[in-house]
Structure 1
Amino acid sequence: MTTTPNEQYFSASPSSQDVRRTLHVTLRGHGLDVETSHGVFSGSRLDLGTSVLLRHAPMPPEEGVFLDIGCGWGPICLAMALESPEAEVWGVDVNERAVALTSDNATKAGCANVHAVSSDDLDGELRFDVIWSNPPIRIGKEALHGLLMSYLPRLNPGGEAYLVVQRNLGADSLIPWMADALGGDFTVRKYASSKGYRVIEVLRAR
């Protein structure tokens, strides 16, 4: 995370100067040059948690409506869009700079199926077949719970979500909490573990 002192990547309008830099990243086998900046999550590299998620999440369906919660500069959106070019991929973030970077990076990568919007601008009627996310754990437990419950119940029947959470930041306790909060239509379990992270699977019954 590259921010000015006291600035958080989940600020709506970062106060740091928007100085863009180019990174070369590999997302599920796809090599890309992307732009990042100050004031966004993991602005200097591909975050380790995101890397773990992209390494372990199963191949998404060829089409459908996909969502990345907390898109940052767009690595998860780009990975989903490249894996499933017929899908409609949405990326949401409270950070206006992150939304702009995701949109610009998608255009640069030729991913016309990516739509990056602020969290408040996402159509409340949209439902999702796939959700992938490295959620912003550091916003605090109450805010995180509210964020997850804003989106996970919007999975379509048969839909699936994969979330990556650092083990020492509460991944194991989050699993039973989500199972209880989501109710009987959902199955929540640890899907994979790597480098101190858990990948959590959330499935909605058909």
Structure 2
Amino acid sequence: MGDHYFSATPSVASHRGSVRLHTSDVDLSLVTDTGVFSHSRLDRGTRVLLDTAPMPPVRGPLLDVGCGYGPIALTLASRRRRLPVWAVDLNERALGLTRENADAAGLGNVTACRPEEVPDDVTFAGIYSNPPIRSGKTALHELLLRWLPRLLPDGRAYLVVAKNLGSDSLQRWLSDEQGFPTTRLASERGYRVLEVAPAP
């Protein structure tokens, strides 16, 4: 497509479709559209994250960074209906789809918004992301350093990154250079799921 899915206003013409999201405990039909990440199918990395990342060890608000049309956020909201789930993205089309899909699923605990619309005093028990690696290392690092400091003291972040797109170097950067203890939680189908703890 002519522009990336992380554009704020995709220039590609809208062509809506749907994706079935089915896990061991969640079954949803989600509306998708062109100009949004992995609009024609559930991305393999997202599937690995949803199948392997647990709920965090403490209760509190949850965050989906780079929500796309909402598969991660809506799965979290389905699993924890009493917890607020924030879904952030730069892509306005993606945010509209996440809101539409949350409404259709009856998930009133989802708030889809731009990153700057999340109040500064909200901290998170869990952060989940299939981060936009292809946006570049600088943008990726800025994204992570924006949100990881907002973990609760016993909170956790779960990131899924393709092995061939630098998951191991990202793990070293988080642990060794930024002070966020990071471990490999799972390795499946060419993807790593990283568990990130707050910096001490």
TM-score normalised by structure 2 residue count: 0.95
Where 1:164 maps in the other structure, the secondary structure is strand
1:197 aligns with 2:166: no
The 1-side partners of 2:156 and 2:141 are apart by 18
The 1-side partners of 2:7 and 2:190 are apart by 26
Contact 1:28 1:79 in 2 (8 A): no
What residue in structure 1 maps to residue 69 of structure 2? 73
Where 2:36 maps in the other structure, the secondary structure is coil
TM-score normalised by structure 1 residue count: 0.92
RMSD after superposition:
1.6
Shift of 1:118: 1.2
Residue 167 to residue 43, structure 1, CA distance change in 2 (3 Å): same
Residue type at the aligned position of 1:192: A
Q: 2:117 aligns with which of 109, 114, 121?
A: 121
Structure 1's unaligned 5+ residue stretches are: none
The 1-side partners of 2:49 and 2:97 are apart by 20
What residue in structure 1 maps to residue 32 of structure 2? 36
The 1-side partners of 2:163 and 2:185 are apart by 13
Residue 62 to residue 18, structure 1, CA distance change in 2 (3 Å): farther
Structure 1 ranges of 4+ moved more than 4 A: 60-63
What residue in structure 1 maps to residue 128 of structure 2? 132
Residue type at the aligned position of 1:202: V
Q: Whose strand fraction is larger, Structure 1's or Structure 2's?
A: 1
Q: How many residues align?
A: 200
What residue in structure 1 maps to residue 87 of structure 2? 91
Structure 2's unaligned 5+ residue stretches are: none
Residue 171 to residue 205, structure 1, CA distance change in 2 (3 Å): closer
When structure 1 is superposed on structure 2, of 160-169 and 59-68 the one drifting more is 59-68
